[in-house]
Structure 1
Amino acid sequence: MTQADRTDRSTAGPWGEESAPAPAGRPGGFLGLRHWGRDGRGATTWRRGLVLAVLAALTAGLMAFHAEVPNSVGNLGSLLETFLPWLGLAVPVLLVPALLRRSATALIALLLPVAVWLNLFGGLLTDKSGGSGDWTVVSHNVAAANTDVPGTVRGLVASGAQIVALQELAGKALRGYESGLAEAYPYHAVEGTVGLWSKYPISGVSPVDLKMGWTRAFRAEVTTPQGPVAVYVAHLPSVRLKAEGGFTVDQRDVSAQALGDAIQAEQLKKVLLLGDLNGTMNDRSLAPVTSQMRSAQGAAGDGFGFSWLSSFPMARIDQIMSKGGLKPVDSRTLPRDGSDHLAVAATYRYSS
């Protein structure tokens, strides 16, 4: 091969066309500046990646207008809102091909979902806890299939909480919680499959009808050193994702309305809600409750505080909420135990 042949091959493009060598001193690597001009087909960096740009815009639109996604078909709106923060993963997924395509259009379009996601969830990324509180509360779906009741009891006592609400209590496990928590919490009440343990006196216990046919919620009055607080313990019906019916939430939504009505009719000013609501604060179907209550995680947490599944938390469906002058100063999840949920905890300051 002659020197001329070697020179010709060194300047040939990947499809045989001539391409000029990179000028001296100009970046020319895989993503170097010289690659951001026209490609072998003549498309500029502004013409490439249009499909990626459309996908980025659609992602931003879904997050920004999630409330407009209808629930009439498979309750898609509630399904989307349950896992809404995870839509942010579309950004790195789309970023890689945008860089590979060297598309300025796609990269600029990706700023849209980034901006919307930060507007919706950026506030959750900062630690909002601060100051001392008067008492700590814990809510935990201990799971009926929990095979380590003693370990769960030890974790609850170690939390230092003054008030503990449990869901999915049944049979032998219930007796284990009653005996295990008795020394640390001298007062307790159980209605159906939900219970409340407290270092402070409990009175005025009455079931809340969730329209289910059995008791999974009740109201009690806890007399704290700072004054009485109405405490609601609730376990709303489970939701299911089915191939035929989509996201089945009808019974949960009926119960959410009943719970919201009970809280709205509460006579005491200061109210706590502790429980597994089987839905997130973003889920429109929980509006009868969330519209009148303040989330401890949103006000005083650090991060998303996902509580389910415990092995790989994906959503915050276990909630601690309040209204009427109870100020959350800290919110967190507790270490994993034998349940498929993580316990959630919050510290409150009692204000007049």
Structure 2
Amino acid sequence: MMVDARHAIHTDAPAKTAWQRGRLLALGSVVVAVLLVAHEFVPNRWGNLGSLVQSFLPWLGLAVPLGILAALLRRSALAVLAVLLPLAAWIWVFLPQVRPADPAPGDLTVVEHNVSDTNTDVAGTAEVLLAAEPDIVTLTEVSEETAEQYTEAFGEALPHHETQGTVGVWSKYPLKGAKAVDIRPEGVDATWDRCLRVVIQREGASVALFVAHLPSVRFGRGGFETELRNASALQLADAVNAEKNETVIVAGDLNAVLADDAIAPLTNLVTAPTTGFEFTYPESFPVVQIDHVLARGATVTETRTLPSTGSDHLPLLAHIDTPWS
């Protein structure tokens, strides 16, 4: 039996308008905006999701250009409008860091560097660090052999030095009171030795310096595995909190960004510059700053990265305004 075409059922749906297309894209923009402004409320359940989001928080800004491109391809006015939300959120969170600043130079220059235990170019690394004319150099991942080589390479520019395990400090000024600080997480072997406390002396005044290398974080079966680092950061925080010297500097590879609330027991005790993005790792394409110079009773006025060495980290230079000035 034939059906008259005039009575056929029309099944074609009407075409969506520019305001109806791209709803999923718009939802994605809303989610990114919420993560940016409320990242501290992301729980550290489900594989330490909160730490993971906070570690790469600035990179959520990539959702803006990618969202615009996807919205144009989808021809969605709704998605284009929604992209304004993560744009506004990113500006709200990071405007202080991108705002131009003219920081004071400070009276103490500290260079911190994870030199990498596979870095064989000691002379070249020392040359890069000395070019910044530092008063203090703190190194992590040094061995007994390379520590001696760095001492020779720094020479008369930094004649005072102390090492402890795999960390060390080389200084223009005299050092005293060097001692190991136990920041081992529970269950870690006693040969794990990654923190040194020493006092820098100048003009009758003193500054306590902690050089530390916290445990690495990994992506594993449990997600973003940070438990060992978090435990070590808590022990370092206890040591800093117990320090009687009013002026304290903490330098080292913390294997964490300062926005990570998991290390808040430490970062709540010290301050850092609020401008710029000084990503230090990995050296080939830095995406996070896990190397830091922080202070209590002094002001870190500026930080910036130095040229690459044979390490997988970039060196970090910090100018500090101390009570000496």
Whether TM exceeds 0.5 here: the answer is: yes
Q: Pick the aligned partner of 1:344 from 316, 319, 325.
A: 316
Per-residue CA distance 1:274-319 (angstroms, 9 max, x = gap): 00000001111111111111113x2xx4x31000001100100000
Inter-partner Cα distance in structure 1 for 2:277 and 2:223: 26
1:329 corresponds to 2:301: yes
Residue of structure 2 in register with 1:222 after alignment: 200
Residue of structure 2 in register with 1:268 after alignment: 245
Inter-partner Cα distance in structure 1 for 2:293 and 2:212: 11
Inter-partner Cα distance in structure 2 for 1:210 and 1:133: 30
1:319 corresponds to 2:292: yes
Pairwise CA distance, 1:191: 0.5
Deviating more after overlay: 60-69 vs 145-154:
60-69
Inter-partner Cα distance in structure 2 for 1:165 and 1:73: 36
Alignment of 1:1-352 (within 5 A): 41-211=14-184, 212=188, 213=190, 214-225=192-203, 227-242=205-220, 244-296=221-273, 298=274, 301=275, 303-324=276-297, 326-351=298-323
Residue of structure 2 in register with 1:28 after alignment: none
Query: Percent same amino acid at aligned positions?
Result: 43
> Is 1:234–1:276's contact at 8 Å kept on the other side of the alignment?
yes
Q: Partner letter of residue 255 of structure 1?
A: S
Residue of structure 2 in register with 1:9 after alignment: none
1:295 aligned counterpart, secondary structure: coil
Residue of structure 1 in register with 2:6 after alignment: none
Inter-partner Cα distance in structure 2 for 1:123 and 1:41: 48
Pairwise CA distance, 1:223: 0.9
1:183 aligned counterpart, secondary structure: helix
Q: Partner letter of residue 128 of structure 1?
A: A
Pairwise CA distance, 1:135: 1.8
> Is 1:334–1:343's contact at 8 Å kept on the other side of the alignment?
yes
> Is 1:129–1:329's contact at 8 Å kept on the other side of the alignment?
no
Inter-partner Cα distance in structure 2 for 1:146 and 1:70: 37
Deviating more after overlay: 141-150 vs 126-135:
126-135
Per-residue CA distance 1:251-295 (angstroms, 9 max, x = gap): 111100000011011111111000000000111111111111111
Per-residue CA distance 1:158-214 (angstroms, 9 max, x = gap): 110101100000143222112111321111000010001100110111111112433
Inter-partner Cα distance in structure 1 for 2:63 and 2:84: 12
Inter-partner Cα distance in structure 2 for 1:323 and 1:226: 19
Stretches of structure 2 that go unaligned for 5 or more consecutive residues are 1-12
* Alpha-carbon spacing, 1:249–1:330, altered in 2? closer, same or farther (3 Å): same
Q: Partner letter of residue 151 of structure 1?
A: G
Pairwise CA distance, 1:226: 7.3
Pairwise CA distance, 1:49: 1.5
Inter-partner Cα distance in structure 2 for 1:125 and 1:223: 35
Deviating more after overlay: 250-259 vs 84-93:
84-93
* Alpha-carbon spacing, 1:340–1:314, altered in 2? closer, same or farther (3 Å): same
Q: Which runs of 4+ in 1 moved over 3 A?
A: none
Between structure 1 and structure 2, the one with the greater Rg is 1
Q: Partner letter of residue 39 of structure 2?
A: H
> Is 2:207–2:245's contact at 8 Å kept on the other side of the alignment?
yes
Inter-partner Cα distance in structure 1 for 2:214 and 2:36: 26
Q: Partner letter of residue 198 of structure 2?
A: A
What is the TM-score with the length of structure 1 in the denominator? 0.83
Inter-partner Cα distance in structure 1 for 2:322 and 2:147: 31
* Alpha-carbon spacing, 1:128–1:224, altered in 2? closer, same or farther (3 Å): farther
Inter-partner Cα distance in structure 2 for 1:203 and 1:48: 68
Q: Partner letter of residue 315 of structure 2?
A: A
Q: When the two structures are aligned, how many residues end up with a matched partner?
A: 307
Q: Partner letter of residue 304 of structure 2?
A: R
* Alpha-carbon spacing, 1:331–1:237, altered in 2? closer, same or farther (3 Å): same
Inter-partner Cα distance in structure 2 for 1:262 and 1:96: 49
Stretches of structure 1 that go unaligned for 5 or more consecutive residues are 1-39
